[in-house]
Every structure is written in structure tokens, then in C-alpha cells.
Amino acid sequence: MHDVIDIPIVSRGRLILPEGDDVVEFKGRGGATFRSPDPHKHIHDLVLGNTALLADLNNTRMAEIIDFLAAVGERLQLEDNAYLQQSFALALQAGGLAEPILRGVYDGLPHMFDRKSLTELVDATIGIDYLDGWAPAKAPYQNVRVRAVGTRQLHITAGNVPVVAALTIVRAALTKSDCLIKSPSNDPLTANAIARTMIELDASHPVTRHIAVAYWKGGDEFMEGQIVRTSRIDKITAWGGMSSVKHIQKFLSPGIDLTALNPKYSMSLIGKETLESDAAMQEAASGLAVISGFYNQTACANTRIVYVESETDEASLERVIELGRKIVAAYPTLPEAISTPAAAPNKELEAEMEAVALDDDFYHVEGDTVTGGFVVSKFSDRVDFFDKLNNRVVNLVPMPNLLDVVKWCDDTTQTVGVYPEAARDRLLDAFSLSGVQRMVPLAGGDAMQIFGDMHKLPPGMPHDGIEPMRRNVRWVIDHRPPATYAARDIASIDVAAE
């Protein structure tokens, strides 16, 4: 039997505890149960309201904000932070990640608050000069200045990987914005734990005083109707399922900007050269095991469909089947920090696999939903249940021409693994136009090297084809008469000379 965990509402530097008649019990995923204050009673504690109240954060220098975030990061060591320990325990119950994977994710949280990385991130996406003051345009338009100012934000976060909570807090602080985080049922405590760490460090710091965290059930029309108003919110970032994104859209009105980080599906493209040698097949299989297996296929970036440049005759299909076997054989070699056998079978997916296995004229099925498996289509089309592929199960689809895959690509196609690199240039432009947002390498053979190669990016790179931080500030222009600017400029030069 799971313990009931009390989770306070975090309201801009203070905690509101569940007590007395102000208690609501929620059921998380995986059997977890937690209690919180009734969010219906605390609308005014959750929203900022008056935009003038953002002045304290807007006037705080970015260097000071980054120093504060770096100090928070130093306190996010799992072994030393009681809030994170509680969050970790609850995430094990409510989330879908195995203990070694989840521990690796939590161990990575301090690195997200690294001072150098944060500085590079904000400067690459927005520009510190634009956040700390009015930046003049280039000559001959110095009478025009631009500033990026913070906004009032609602973040409806996803809980498949807890880094989303940390990323949300970092992005809000670096945009000098007020941030209300609606926590997800499969990770109801990570954002709360980080915010409580910030309170413990400095409850009066402007960053702390502009973060609120609460949980309410998805689809609660009273909550969304009260919060999503132009008098209370400027920007919304919605992660998670399509139903939650569509739900929040009902409350939008002019003046509220929605950034929808809706569900994404990822895939890999395997060039014909791969099937020509066992060595190439093995290297490709190692890369495919990593990109489909990391975080046990719970992330948007995980490959679920592998399109293999191949004909559909019997001999060609045997090579595709052999590639599938090599992928499954590679799963046990992956470090526990990125992938493990599933804790339990996926009954729904297993039923789908068993059904298509009976139709052996069209499909070849091996493996299971605990250790991993694959379905080979014997024709050039994906399985109907491609969006349900999980637990390290992939669908291999033979395609005589990989360029034909673009018909299945759109703005929901996030990450595409490519092997061999020789195939990349002939595919890149066509897939970019089709909606694909990122193409990553699968070569290398070493699991951790492959994992690092596909995840390490320069600071400030686009996310899902957009730049969320730039969208989450308001860009303001100060346009003065040229003569006024010239007179002011001359006066400032005279003062400097004196």
C-alpha cells in the first residue's frame, strides 16, 4: 500500500499546506496518492494579476538571476536534498521510468543550472543586453531601441521525464517572467521540490517570488477558465497529450499566446548501404537500440518506426528481419542509466503484436514488451498501432525509396535518426520541408557515445522547431525622433568628456 504524500501549493516564496478543510486527495499514476490544498480556493495565490508586479524581476540584472539559479543547482544533489528525495520516491510510483534511469535523470538536474551554460543559453536565444536594458538598433537607426520584457506565464508540463520541470523553471527565470506551473499526475512533485529549494535558499529573491506550482486535474474547466484570462496570463506553454492541448485552446482569446509542445513521434531512416554488410548492420542496430531504448521509449525523441531502404522480396526482407534481431540483441548491452527491461508487460501493445503475428503474410513479429521486440512490415507501410509502440518495440518498414517516407511526416515528426551518414545529405532538405525538426546520427557503436552525440547541442538551439524562450518574452520598441536621439547622444558625449 502506498503512503499518502502531502504536497503544498508553492505561491511566490511561501507554502500553502493541505490542512483542515482545505485538503483534496488526488490519485496519481501507478497507484500513487497525494494530498494538496484545494486549488479552487487559491486562484489568487496562483496568478500574479497586475503586470506592474513584474517590475522587481524585470529590474534584476541577468547576472544576478544566473548566480541565483547556479546556487539553486548546487542544492539539487539527490543525496542531500530531502525535497528531491521525496519527489524521486513519488516519481518512481507515479511515473514510468525504472529506478536506474530515473536516478540518472535526477543526477543530471544540477547540470541544468550550470552558470556558464545558462549564460550561453540566454545570450543565444534572446540576448542579455535586451533583457537588462534597451538595446539600440544598428546605425543609422540608433534612435530605435528594443527590449525584451518578461510576461505572465502558465506552463502545463509533461511528466514523462522530470527534466521538463527544471527546464520550465530555468526558462521562466531567464525570460524574467512570472511562472505558474501546473504539475502533471505522473510527476506531481519535481517542480514543487525545486521551487521549495529556492524558497529555502532565498524566499525573497525576485525569481523565487515569481514562481507558483500547483496540481489540479487535467480538464478542470473551472481552474482553466479562472486562470486563462488576459488579466492574468500572457503566455501558455502546453506540453503533453493532444487532448490537453485541445482542452486549453478552448479558453484562448486574443492577447494570450499558446506555445503547444504537443506529442511528437520520432523515427529512423536506414540507408540501403546498411544491409550490405554485417558490420554496418551491427553498427546501425547499436544506434537504433539507443534511440529507441533510452528512457525505455517514453520520450518524444524515441524512434518507434524504422524505415529501411529495401525492396520487399523475400531475400531483402530476411535482411530487414536480421536487423531487427540485432536491435533486440543490443538492448541488454545498454547501460542501466538509459535503458532497462520494462517492469511489466504492455498488455495493449502485446495484444496488437499477437494479432498481426497471426497475419504472417504481411508481418513478422519477434520479442515482447518486457525485454524488447520488433514487427517487420512485409510491405511499404507502417503498422496501424505505430503510435502505441513502447517498451522498446519498433516497427521496421521496408522502403525502396526513403524519400517516399515524407508522406508520413508533418509538424508532429520530431527526431529522425540517420544511418549511414552517407545517406544524410540526399534526405536532409526533403525531410526538413516535410516538418521534421531534428536529424541525429546513429553511428559510432558505443551506446553512451551515441546517446551523447544525439543529445548534446549548443546552448539556445530550437525546441520542436520553434524558439520557446524568444516567444515567451514581449518585444518592445522605443522609437524616438532622430533629432531627439542626436541631441541626447551629444549631451551624453559632453558629460563623458568632462
pTM score > 0.95 for this model? Answer: no
Region of residue 309 (left: phi > 0; alpha: psi -120 to 50; beta: else): beta
Compute the distance between CA of residue 287 and CA of residue 283 in angstroms, rounded to an integer.
6
CATH superfamily of domain region 265-455: Aldehyde Dehydrogenase; Chain A, domain 2 (3.40.309.10)
Domain range summary for the chain, segments of one domain joined by +: 7-263, 265-455
Do 308 and 274 contact (CB within 8 A), yes or no?
A: yes
What angle, 0 to 180 degrees and rounded to 10, lies between the N-to-C axes of helices 163-174 and 190-202? 50
In order along its 498 residues, the chain shows pLDDT tens digits of 457 889 999 999 999 999 999 999 987 666 678 899 999 999 999 999 999 999 999 999 999 999 999 999 999 999 999 999 999 998 888 777 889 999 999 999 999 999 999 999 999 999 999 999 999 998 888 899 999 999 999 999 987 788 999 999 999 999 999 999 999 888 889 999 999 999 999 999 999 999 999 999 888 889 989 999 999 999 999 987 677 777 788 888 888 999 888 778 999 999 999 999 999 999 999 999 999 999 999 889 999 999 999 999 999 999 999 999 999 999 999 999 999 999 899 999 999 999 999 999 999 999 999 999 999 999 999 999 999 999 999 999 999 999 999 999 998 999 999 999 999 999 999 999 999 999 999 999 899 999 998 888 888 888 888 899 999 999 999 999 986 665 555 444 444 444
Task: Copy the grid coordinates of residue 211.
Answer: 514562481
Strand partners, 153: 179, 235
pLDDT value at residue 460: 86
Compute the distance between CA of residue 54 and CA of residue 58 in angstroms, rounded to an integer.
6
Beta strands in 217-320 (DSSP E): 235-239, 257-261, 265-270, 303-309
Kindly give the pairing relationship between strand 9-11 and strand 14-16.
Answer: antiparallel
Do 328 and 372 contact (CB within 8 A), yes or no?
A: yes
Domain covering 7-263, topology: Aldehyde Dehydrogenase; Chain A, domain 1 (3.40.605)
CA distance from start to end of the chain: 77
pLDDT value at residue 200: 97
Q: Is the peptide bond before 420 cis (omega within 30 degrees of 0)?
A: yes
Beta strands in 271-360 (DSSP E): 303-309
Concatenated DSSP letters of 85-116: HHHHHHHHHHSS--HHHHHHHHHTGGGGG-HH
User: How many CB atoms are located within 10 Å of the residue 201 CB?
Assistant: 15
pLDDT value at residue 333: 95
- 180 φ, ψ to 5°? -105, 120
pLDDT value at residue 495: 40
User: How many CB atoms are located within 10 Å of the residue 325 CB?
Assistant: 14
Kindly give the pairing relationship between strand 24-27 and strand 257-261.
Answer: unpaired
Do 224 and 247 contact (CB within 8 A), yes or no?
A: yes
Which residues contact residue 454 at a Cβ distance below 8 angstroms, ignoring those fewer than 6 apart?
Answer: 290, 291, 301, 415, 417, 440, 441, 442
